[in-house]
């Protein structure tokens, strides 16, 4: 099992603040980690909802 990114890296990924190489690394991780993929999906929906 791969080590999951920390909360700060995930938040920066969702906000589009990571450099391309780190984005690719997280996206590769998301392909194999259902838990992180769900966290990202739910968080993105909440961000959209909050921004209205």
Q: Is residue 29 in a domain?
A: yes
pLDDT (0 to 100) of residue 14 = 95
CA dihedral 46, 26, 17, 21 (to 10 degrees): -160
- For Cα atoms 25, 36, 41, give the angle at the middle one, nearest 5 degrees: 105
Structural domains in the chain (count): 1
Supply the pTM of this predicted model: 0.84
pLDDT in tens, 1-51: 579 999 999 999 999 999 999 999 999 999 999 999 999 999 999 999 998
pLDDT (0 to 100) of residue 1 = 52
- Show the tokens assigned to 30: 């998301």
Q: Is residue 48 in a domain?
A: no
Q: Is residue 16 in a domain?
A: yes
User: Can you point out the beta strands (E) in 1-52?
Assistant: none
Q: Is residue 28 in a domain?
A: yes
Question: Which residues form the domain of 16?
Answer: 1-35
């Amino acid at each position: 099992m791969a080590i999951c990114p920390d909360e700060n890296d995930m938040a920066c990924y969702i906000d589009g603040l990571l450099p391309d190489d780190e984005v690719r690394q997280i996206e590769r991780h998301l392909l194999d980690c259902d838990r992180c993929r769900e966290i990202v999906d739910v968080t993105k929906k909440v961000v959209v909802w909050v921004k209205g």
